[in-house]
A and B are shown apart, each in its own frame.
Chain A
Amino acid sequence: MPTSLIDNKESSNFLVGLAYKANDIWYDLVEILMQLPGGELIINYIKASHKNDPWRTLLEALLALFAIKYFLASRYSQDDKDNMVLSKKETDELIEDWVPEPVVVDLREDEKWQIETNPIINGAVSKRVDIQQGDLISTNVLNFASLDFLGMSTDKKVVENSVECIREVGVGACGPPNFYGTQSVHVRCREDLAMFLGAEDCIMYGQDFATPISVLPCFLKRGDIVIVDGGAYVGLQKAAMISRCNIEWFNHNDLDDLESILENLSKDLEQGPLNRRFIVTEGLSENFGDSPDLKRLVEIKNKYKFRLILDESNSIGTLGDNGRGLPEVYNIPRSEIEITIGSMARSFGSSGGFCAGDKDMIYHQILTSNAYVFSAALPPYCAVAVSTIIKAIIDEEVEGKVNPHIRPLKENSAYLHSLFNNSKELSKYVTVKSDSYSPSLHLRIDADLREALDLPDVYGGPGSAVTKALKNGNEELFFDQYYNLESFKLQTIINKCVEAKVLPTRTKRILHHEVLPIVPELILHINATHTKQDLDYAYSVVSKAIIDTLEHWRKTGN
């Protein structure tokens, strides 16, 4: 298989190369060694090691053989075994005839609205924004789309400290962290994050979305096992898949299902080799806005001796009295969560991602994590912004009380959820999927209405047309008409809201990237800076827009 070339290059090349070269000069070496003082000692060691551990010698010999084969097979030759024999003329004709597909499929006419409706913000992204969608300009719109949940990115102190940092060190870090790219402010930020979360150590990445995809493959290789929440967002799905380990999915937040999978696996696991085993889930689900029962999850993973990877991108800064995430809610020490992954571009109002856990685990990432080793460090001022926010939160921490930086967000989330949950009329059209502690309110078209509108229950996922198209490389067929239609209707709702000066958002998932089935949703990201009036107003606008649009759709069929 041609792809194995790449693999080899990355993993086994070193030892393979070595073994080969070692073999190459083996005889010379033995001779030289014999002449050197102490040379015999080494040879005796090798002999002794053979006696003590013939397996190892055998292994090394096999490795050498494999290496020789690998090298003799010429480094760059691709597998020619099943090639057809062609004359030059035939080859030329085949080349002449070959027509490639376009680089990417052009946007269809009925997809173009997606580009046109993406909002462009004139100025800062804060509570009220001026937006432009196509030619349409709306000013002073209430923002329910920002992920800066605590509203910190325009905070005076944060801005001041960031500016001071830029004055000191400029904007970019200009080098990977391992090559003079680590500034003292990066180290401070690492310490602050670790201290805030109660972890031993921490590592920072240049982009939040690149974090899981780089962290997971450090610890998961072929033969290892990972059990992933079946509602995980696409970053975690891809991270699990690129690791090439064995993947199992459990139903979203269904710990009974998880336990039964583990129970089924446990017999095999006891007998097999001690490979690495992980459970992967989110602190606050990106797709559903709910959290797992962490207490039980920790019990389960300890019982079966799995390790836990918790993606807290959404939950840090939003859950727990001081925003320390899901473990703070359940009063579970951070050390129980072996790997925590998070984002600094959400509640921390800055940029980048991070991973926290014990020292050995972090050290291994410093050496081998692809996105850490082969990429420039985070701009220093982004690290300063995070440190500033953490300090602000910690300064106001009072035992047993909700932190004043987090409280408004919690109250707002609960309040807006209660408004939507308590509306009888609205429940005929949409269902609230998220839990009331979630700062993102997720709304789906109600199941009965879906049926009336002829919409499928879910899109994509195993066995669907998109999955098949992906398997066959049929990019034209990635498009799903109903998915496009439903998304368009949600956008219509958003457009109506924008006219009334409220900006909600919707899921913008791409069907062919998702392994798991999905349903489009309307989303309101709640912010600590919103007031009660803002929420009341948003509720009235959004619910009216929903009812108008969906009622019209149901009545007229478009």
Chain B
Amino acid sequence: MSKTYDTSELSKHVPNPPVNNLSIEEKAEMEFGSLSSDKYLASAQHDPSIEIRTQVLDEPPYYVVISTYLNYLTLIIIGHIRDFFGMTFMPQYYSAMVAKNGYPPWYSAFESFYPRRLKRRLDDCFARPIYGVPGRYINCFNRASTDYNESFYYDGTATPCLNLSSYNYLGFAQSVGKCTDDSIDAVYKYGVSSCGPRNVIGTTDLHVKTEKILSKFLGKEDSIIFSMGWGTNAHLFTSMVNSKCLVISDSLNHASIRFGIRLSGAAVKVFPHNDMEALEKILRNSISQGQSKTHRPWKKIFICVEGLYSMEGTYVNLPKIVELKEKYNCYLFVDEAHSIGALGKSGKGICEYYNVDPNKIDILMGTLTKSFGAAGGYISANKNICDRLRLDITVNNYGESIPPAVLQQISTSMRIISGELNDNEGELRLQRIAFNSRYLRLGLKRLGFIVYGADDSPVIPLLIYNPAKMPRFSQLLLERGIAVVIVGYPATDIISSRIRFCMSAALTKEDIDLILAACADVGDRLNLKFSTGIAGGERNPGDWKKGIKPRWSIEEVIEKTPEDCRHEVY
């Protein structure tokens, strides 16, 4: 957005929220839309009669791939040219990258090439400040840049946008309702902070109670809650594995897991995403060959996977992994960051989804940031494991513990999900997100987009490929009042840049109609409808083989999909 703006009355300062005079009812509706019909419900549960397949990936036409590479190449060449001339003629703009007074630069031009030259062009889509509840709508401050996203000007206004960007699967990001009331009571009762590490002073009765509720919810013996999901993974592995242990990790595992493993010093092998044969091969090979060089047996072998992959929308093949784990006698770590709360008939995550006994998984980890409208992470395991970890995990002895209001949010929302509070509200939320996810995914497929992920998964990535189209897509949607997240390299492959829709139970069927219409329109303008139908969306099963591509009209999609999406059609 490089239009010229009169910057005199604008400010570089992120504004404070404008006064709003919505009534409580209006506010509640903005945070969590009310359901218009009982038809718009579904359930996210694996049907055991269907074999678990690895997902079918649709490929874009060849010219899209080529043009994407060309696009990157051009960006890189231009970037290098600009760097070369810039550093020669205008060193003042490169102060952070050149040595000064005998001090090395903070970071080298090489290290920061990607963020400066590629990401900067997308910066308008990142870190847009907001205010208020990130619920059904999110209030985005309006801003513009006159210097290619070097800095932004704000005029103090904001636009409420339909929110497909926040991790708010069950719609517990609310300021009206039981969760909030309880959390506020907790602040009055316990104060703002918990004042120290868990093992020193930071364990209150609320911590103990919430851990019990969590363990019961998950069906595990014991749990420990931490104040940050990232920190949970980062600090866990040093207490479990050492340099004589092996960790076998899915290639798409989250950065926090990789960080934790690296910190532990354990050996790592990576298997291609969800490739069970490769995993088995690595297992056989590793156990029989032992440690590299010495060939001594490994002390322990951990398989690390996620329940629901946050960039792909795919599930782990849990039944198969459990089988492998038992066959080869190794341990299993599952990160349920995105699946806990969002999957399964009663929200108990990936184990419930596949009907696998949670006790077959040695370490269940998850975050409380996503489905519960709270923050933090947890580890659930047998009591003897938790007892050791309680004493041994560094955060418990040196770092802060999770604050009371957040704990209360977790405990109330979890009790709502399990039906202990507010009758069937939890069940309804689960059914809404399942329907919403299925509807949007199938709708997008029928419109002709390439969409990844399992049918009922709430993470819906829409493939864009071309990096130049990412910011355009995001801006065009924003203009239509929809906030989405764009993800490109390094979070994904270099080629498969994407838009990620994070579905929420707070959205209504009518909201999704709007989103589909906006995508249909923008997709045409940016030429993004590449799908062949191989991954679903066709009119009649098998169409793709005949070369018939799914390109439904938006009217037809909205008319038929809400009903169709509730069944396994393909």
Contact = CB atoms under 8 A, between A and B. Distances in A.
Contacts of A95: 284, 287-288, 328
A471 B362 CA distance: 25
B494 interface: yes
B230 A350 contact: no
Interface stretch (B212-220, B347-355, B385-393, B554-562): B385-393
28 contacts: A6-B249, A25-B70, A76-B270, A121-B201, A123-B190, A168-B132, A169-B131, A169-B134, A171-B406, A174-B168, A174-B173, A180-B134, A180-B140, A180-B165, A181-B166, A184-B17, A206-B230, A209-B231, A209-B395, A275-B104, A350-B403, A366-B127, A367-B112, A370-B255, A375-B230, A381-B187, A381-B192, A508-B397
B199 to A, nearest CB: 5
Nearest to A161: B192
Contacts of A373: 255
B256 A370 contact: yes
Interface string A116-127: 001111111110
Interface stretch (A10-18, A250-258, A424-432): A10-18
A472 interface: yes
B466 to A, nearest CB: 14
A452 interface: no
A233 B16 CA distance: 38
A364 B106 contact: yes
Given A84-B295, A91-B284, A101 B300 contact: yes
A79 interface: yes
A162 B131 contact: no
B434 interface: no
B391 A510 contact: yes
Interface string B17-29: 1000000000000
Contacts of B77: 42, 45
A370 B196 contact: no
Contacts of B295: 84
B196 A146 contact: yes
Contacts of B552: none
Contacts of A175: 134, 165-167
Contacts of A379: 374-375, 403, 405-406
A300 interface: no
Given A103-B331, A120-B208, A171-B409, A158 B398 contact: no
Given A118-B199, A153-B191, A163-B188, A184 B300 contact: no
A525 B7 CA distance: 51
Interface string B114-127: 11000100000011
Interface in B235-281: 235, 238-240, 242-245, 249, 251, 254-256, 258-259, 261-263, 267-272, 278
Contact of B391 (A98, A107, A162): A107
A6 B230 contact: no
A524 interface: no
A82 interface: yes
A286 B399 CA distance: 12
Interface string A153-192: 1100011001100111111111101111111111110000
Contacts of A179: 126-127, 165-166, 485
A557 interface: no
Interface string B361-405: 011000101101111000001001101111110110111101101
A512 to B, nearest CB: 8
B496 to A, nearest CB: 12
Centre residue among B119, B163, B201, B295 by max chain A CB count within 10 A: B201
B494 A18 contact: yes
A154 B188 CA distance: 8
B337 to A, nearest CB: 10
B227 A122 contact: no
Nearest to A367: B115
B405 A381 contact: yes
A247 interface: no
Interface in A356-381: 360-361, 363-364, 366-368, 370-371, 373-376, 378-379, 381
B109 to A, nearest CB: 12
Interface of A: 1-3, 5-7, 9-10, 13-14, 17-18, 21-22, 25, 28-29, 32, 42, 45, 75-76, 78-79, 82-84, 86, 90-91, 94-95, 98-101, 103-107, 111, 114-115, 118-126, 132, 143, 145-148, 152-154, 158-159, 162-163, 166-175, 177-188, 206-210, 213, 218-219, 221, 233-235, 238, 241-242, 274-277, 286, 305, 307, 343, 345, 349-352, 360-361, 363-364, 366-368, 370-371, 373-376, 378-379, 381-382, 385, 470-473, 475, 503, 505, 508-510, 513, 525
B157 to A, nearest CB: 13
B296 to A, nearest CB: 10
In order of increasing CB-CB distance, the 9 nearest A-B pairs are A209-B399, A473-B244, A345-B400, A360-B96, A375-B230, A207-B228, A153-B193, A154-B191, A210-B231
Contacts of A510: 391-392, 394, 397
A515 B293 CA distance: 26
B76 interface: yes
Chain B, interface size category, equals: 35 or more
A203 to B, nearest CB: 11
Given A103-B385, A209-B394, A473-B242, A174 B189 contact: no
Given A123-B190, A124-B190, A206-B231, A172 B203 contact: no
A509 B397 CA distance: 7
Given A120-B203, A125-B194, A351-B400, A99 B293 contact: no
A219 B174 contact: no
Contact of B299 (A3, A9, A101, A345): A101
A114 B201 contact: no
B73 interface: yes
A171 B394 contact: no
A115 B387 contact: yes
A147 B195 contact: yes
Given A179-B166, A371-B256, 17 more contacts: A78-B269, A91-B288, A95-B287, A106-B388, A163-B187, A171-B405, A173-B375, A179-B126, A206-B375, A208-B400, A209-B395, A213-B263, A276-B106, A364-B106, A381-B192, A473-B244, A510-B394
A274 B132 CA distance: 47
A410 to B, nearest CB: 20
A132 B204 CA distance: 9
B373 A172 contact: yes
Contacts of B102: 274, 305
Contacts of B570: none
Nearest to A339: B106
Contacts of B256: 370-371, 374-375
Nearest to B163: A180
A28 B272 CA distance: 30
